[in-house]
Amino acid sequence: MGQAKSRGSREQRIEAAVALQEALKPTEMICNECGGAISGGDIYMQNTRNMPGVDMACSGVCPQCKSVTWGFKGTEQGVAALSAAIASEHPDVIGSVQAYTNKS
């Protein structure tokens, strides 16, 4: 790759990426378990930098039943790969709610 010419500083690019993530963040999710509403304050963005085809991943913690509902946005392939990865890494997602509510 040649020299990238003034595409903005590293900070500016990170800022733009964060802004894009925030723009993609759902304002509300519906709990997979109980159908309750999960508001934005209970929705946590996940890092998708190393996930080709995935634009956005988030997990919402249901205030009623405490189960986690995942939200993905991206290509069909990207979302399918991410779903499979999460299912294999976290077969017991409900039991590991804490891991996702803690800021990483």
CB neighbourhood size of 71 (10 A):
18
According to the binding rule CB under 5 A, does residue 82 interact with Zn ion? no
What H or E segment, with its residue span, contains residue 56? strand 54-61
According to the binding rule CB under 5 A, does residue 65 interact with Zn ion? yes
User: Segment near Zn ion (CB under 5 A), from 18-26, 32-40, 46-54, 94-102?
Assistant: 32-40
User: Segment near Zn ion (CB under 5 A), from 11-19, 41-49, 63-71, 88-96?
Assistant: 63-71
According to the binding rule CB under 5 A, does residue 62 interact with Zn ion? yes
CB 48 within 8 A of CB 56: yes
b/e per residue 28-42 (b: at least 16 CB within 10 A): ebebbeeeeebeeeb
According to the binding rule CB under 5 A, does residue 34 interact with Zn ion? yes
Footprint of Zn ion (CB under 5 A): 31, 33-34, 36, 62, 64-65
